[in-house]
Structure 1
Amino acid sequence: MQTFPCPFCGPRPETEFHYAGDLGNLRPEGFMDVSDQTWSDYLFAKHNRRGESAEIWKHLTCMEVFTMTRDTVNHRVLSSQALLGEGEGV
């Protein structure tokens, strides 16, 4: 079993986490009026990059959402950090 680093709780078993999608996959603006193709691309088209991938994850134990950067070739976690709220950070 792989261990993932929660930025709030520390290293935990991967079974405590839920993948929430690619970082930067933003919901289309005016989503009630977008085409079926645009909506389908948002929901189902994944980048599936080889190598470094920035993703959003949720730790089901503490219920916090954070970003994790992984190498999809060797499954190594490169970093994890809390998502910045509106008005925080640079």
Structure 2
Amino acid sequence: MLLVPCPYCGPRPEVEFHCGGEAHIARPADPSALDDAAWAEYLFIRKSPKGVHAERWLHAHGCGRWFNALRNTISDAFIVSYEMGQPRPDLTRQGDK
């Protein structure tokens, strides 16, 4: 079973969580100024990299809080999790992958 590291509750089974997609997506400052193509891109186009990816997660059957996590999409391993509002950790400075 995959353990997801909730920054509030610690490692918990994956069945307690829901993935919320890519993390750190900035909402447009003036959405009404976007044309349909730009609005559709904001809503639907997401990165899907092979390797380390920042994602949002909800601990739905636990503390009920959202958090961000860096996960390797190749191995499915969680590298680090962190509270919403915190910047994405710089793995190159930490000597990680």
Question: What's the TM-score, normalizing by structure 2?
Answer: 0.78
Distance across 2 between alignment mates of 1:57 and 1:43? 18
User: Which runs of 5 or more residues in structure 2 are unaligned?
Assistant: 87-97
Identity among equivalent positions (%) equals 36
User: Which runs of 5 or more residues in structure 1 are unaligned?
Assistant: 86-90
Question: What's the TM-score, normalizing by structure 1?
Answer: 0.83
**Matched letter for residue 22 of structure 1:** E
Distance across 1 between alignment mates of 2:36 and 2:84? 30
From the two aligned structures, give the one with the greater strand fraction: 1
Cα deviation, residue 65, structure 1: 1.2
Regions of 4+ moved over 2 Å: none
Cα RMSD (Å) = 1.5
Distance across 1 between alignment mates of 2:81 and 2:46? 20
Distance across 1 between alignment mates of 2:38 and 2:32? 11
- Number of residue pairs matched by the alignment: 85
**Matched letter for residue 8 of structure 1:** Y
